[in-house]
Structure 1
Amino acid sequence: MSQKVAVDALRYISVLLLFRFMNSLGTAFSFISNDAVAKIQILENYRCGANGQMYFTVQSMVKYEVDHRLVDLEKRGNHYESGCRTLLRLHRALKWLQLFLEKLRVASDDSKTSVLCSEAYNDSLANYHPWIVRKAAAIAFYMLPSRASFFEIMNMGPSEKVVATLGDALPLISKTYDITQELYNQHCFLDLP
């Protein structure tokens, strides 16, 4: 398998993990889940569109959009929902997921999931959200159950199995994040508006 196809597979797995995880958080997180679904749909539309072959991998998408000046660097142009910008939003959410899942993995069963989630959010997504979104997120986090109850809601088996599964999934999430982070860093896309 080529490296580009492997990266695309990792991205797909990571997006599925993000989506499944978001759905397990319940209705308090529907605003985040709905936003993620909308962004995934934008990317799917590009992938199924007339230039879909250019959106087969993250690398090919970046190259195509850079070469054709389809990335809006100032939030004023016609390409506000470019694939690069849209993926950046999911990329940032993936960092939050990575941090939160790692905290869940190593915490005790009586740990407050709300605290773990808030810490992960404050170390990642909060940096990109306006005050009102940060406050709404804080309220949603407050409604999260304990770690043990949260694992039950995830419906993945006993705590030991969930911890083992997280241990397997986190390296994939990290690798996906790191590859995209490096590519976006090379093109100065980490701060797209």
Structure 2
Amino acid sequence: MQTTLVTVVPRIDSIQQKWSPPAFATNSRRTGLKQSIKQTKLTREKTASIGERERERERASERESASMANANDEKPLRKIAEAFKDLSNTLNSQTLDVGVVDLELAPFSRACSLVSPLFGCLGIAFKFAEMDYVAKVDDLAESSKSIATLQKLVDLDIKENCVRKSGSHTRNLLRVKRGLDMVRVLFERIIAMEGNSLKDPASKAYAQVFAPYHGWAIRKAVAAGMYALPTKAQLLKKLNEDETAARIQMQSYVAMSAPVILYIEKLFLSRELGTDW
């Protein structure tokens, strides 16, 4: 008997299956892709942020340069000297007789406001003077919106019987006058001084103008503060002036402020108010 071998060959497509990666591998690739996209986005944002900071630094540098340029253009002493020259010319063009000339309050208060930074430049010794002076000049500037002249300002307080009351315009005017006088004496002393220390000229200016009206505690505090004064060189640097130019402007202020101070004194005396209070 003959045996026939039959080989059964299965269809290839029945056993050949399309291979697909495990599910965990697919998920891993997706996660990696998301992280890559996220990292790219963060990198772009970081780069943009760095660029913006760089641009901001450039803008800040430009603003600082502009500010320094403006500061170099500022000449406080020159502005003060010019303002008081204008006031002095107004008085000298007429007379110091308070019955004839009447000094306008607005330009006067503006000129006085230019003096304010000088007290700040002198440090802690004159901090009290700076605060007091600035507050009183501000009051005069505000008053100038409704009161035209110094005479009218004083006469209104006389009418209201409040001349010597704390905060009155007339009282503030007297304190401002002393501030102007203190700076005048200080400049005189600086012009005449030798060396670099401001202790002697500042001490003498304070003793001559302010000390008679201050109590022991304030005088003691000022005396202690004199050791913290800037040197003359430091003061001139703060004022953006060299010594030669500063001397000229100081001399101008000394000369031009004198008739203004004298006019105020005459105004008080003409109203029998006195100035020693």
Compute the TM-score of the two structures, normalised by the length of structure 1.
Answer: 0.81
- Residue identity opposite 2:183 in structure 1: L
Where do 5+ consecutive residues of structure 1 fail to align? 73-78
1:139 aligns to 2:219 (yes or no): no
Alpha-carbon distance in 2 for matches of 1:106, 1:8 = 33
Which residue in 2 is equivalent to 1:92?
Answer: 178
Correspondence list, 1:11-160, <5 A: 12-13=110-111, 15-48=112-145, 52=146, 55-72=147-164, 79-108=165-194, 110-155=195-240, 157-160=241-244
- Conserved in 1, the CA contact under 8 Å of 2:122 and 2:230? no
Deviation per CA, 1:162-190, whole angstroms, max 9, x where unpaired?
00111112222111111001111222333
| C-alpha deviation, 1:28, in angstroms | 4.8
Code of the residue aligned with 2:102 in structure 1: it is K
Return the letter of the residue paired with 1:46: S
Q: Does the CA contact (< 8 Å) of 1:144 and 1:150 recur in 2?
A: no
Amino acid at match of 2:215: P
Quick check: which has more Rg, 1 or 2? 2
In the superposition, relative to structure 1, how do residues 106 and 7 fare at CA in structure 2: closer, same or farther (>3 Å)? Answer: farther
Unaligned runs of 5+ in 2: 1-89, 95-100
- 1:100–1:117 contact (8 Å) kept in structure 2: yes
Q: What's 2:102 paired with?
A: 4
Report the alpha carbon displacement of residue 152 of structure 1 after superposing the two structures with TM: 1.9
1:85·1:192 contact (CA, 8 Å) conserved in 2?
A: no
- Give yes or no for contact 2:136–2:176 (8 Å, CA) kept in 1: yes
SS in 1 for 2:255: helix
Q: Distance in 2 between matches of 1:28 and 1:34?
A: 12
TM-score by length of 2: 0.58
- Deviation of the 1:125 alpha carbon: 0.6
Distance 1:28 1:117, change over 3 A: closer
State which drifts further: 34-43 or 171-180: 34-43
Q: How many residues align?
A: 179
User: Structure 1 residues 4 and 184 mapped into 2: Cα distance closer, same or farther (>3 Å)?
Assistant: same
Structure 2 CA distance, aligned partners of 1:5 and 1:190? 19
Q: CA RMSD in A?
A: 2.3
Q: Percent identity?
A: 22
Residues 93 and 5 (structure 1 numbering): CA distance in 2 closer, same or farther, change over 3 Å? closer
Name the residue aligned to 1:75.
Answer: none
Q: 1:191 to 1:165 in 2, by over 3 A?
A: closer
Contact kept, 8 Å, 1:10 with 1:172, in 2: the verdict is no
